[in-house]
Structure 1
Amino acid sequence: MNSTPNTPISSTQSRRAVMSRAAFTLVETVLALAIVAGAVLSVVAMLPIGMEDLRQSYMKQAEARIIQTFIADYEMKSWGKAGGTEMTLKDKTLYFDARGTVLPKAGVFEHAITAKATMQKDWPKLPGDPTPSRHVRRLDVKITQAINNPEAFEDPKLYIQRSAWVANFDQTKL
């Protein structure tokens, strides 16, 4: 098969020989597609778990902002009369959007979370000091996403409760 390279038959045959050596076989192609499909399916199967984790993380951030809103409010208020044991801090209910930003009223379009704060009336004893501290209180915050349910703060399944310590920065009055 000594033919000259300029003949059309020999150049076509040599091109086919080069092309057949450079291409993937059917088995190799199917195997590669199966590996890629398995990887894509495993990633797609993990999406719901990742989305749920992201939602929970977003809610935790909103909870932290909500609690910080109440703490900041109670820290800057007067806690009572000078020298007296009367405490004038009232329970408070606020409305928040999904990010934990305070809303002016309930029922607006962005309303996603309702939170109720209760300041404990007792004087806590701090470690190392036997006398009750008149400048620290425990704040209990109930947070619910059941915004249209009037019994949302009565049923423990419908709310979560977080507690925090609040210090009175205006200690000249107590």
Structure 2
Amino acid sequence: MTLPDELRAVVDGEVVVVDAADATGFGDEQVLRALGVDERVVRVERDGWIPRAARSPERVPEWMARKRRQLADPQLVDFYLTMSRALDSADSADAHPQLAELADELADYITRIADEEGEFYVDDTGLESSFAELLDTHVFESLPPSRRLVELLRKRGWTGWTKLARHRHGPG
């Protein structure tokens, strides 16, 4: 499928036109596909760029640079691949151990990044909570295991999907 040169998104009740390259992370879709990430995950990743780019076009180059660094990290690539595998086993008993292991690895990854780069780095989206909740809803509806993953991350000291933050009550 080829995207049009411009995409339209509704932000705060207004139609906003976004350059398609901005909305897709300048090729991150192709990188994810080349890595073997499930097309459903690729679509959700792309769909998340569209409203974010419309909302804060000035932040797109910064977010893209960060995404490229993340996609060069084998631990985060493993997150995408594990989430891809979990999609088809979400209703089976096999999914829960897989997601629990993924939550352990993801919590370690997020903690490492927060420790190395600072807390602000793991959630420097600058998005309002209501907007982040809208994006989260799309992810949870499109990738059902993501909701369970967030629940497991919360037990490991992190909360959120679009807006990551340390869970104030700590693990448990």
Q: Which has the larger radius of gyration?
A: 1
Which interval holds the TM-score relative to the shorter structure?
Answer: under 0.3
Calculate the TM-score normalised by the size of structure 1. 0.23
Structure richer in helix, relative to its length: 2
Greater strand share, structure number:
1
TM-score, scaled relative to structure 2: 0.23
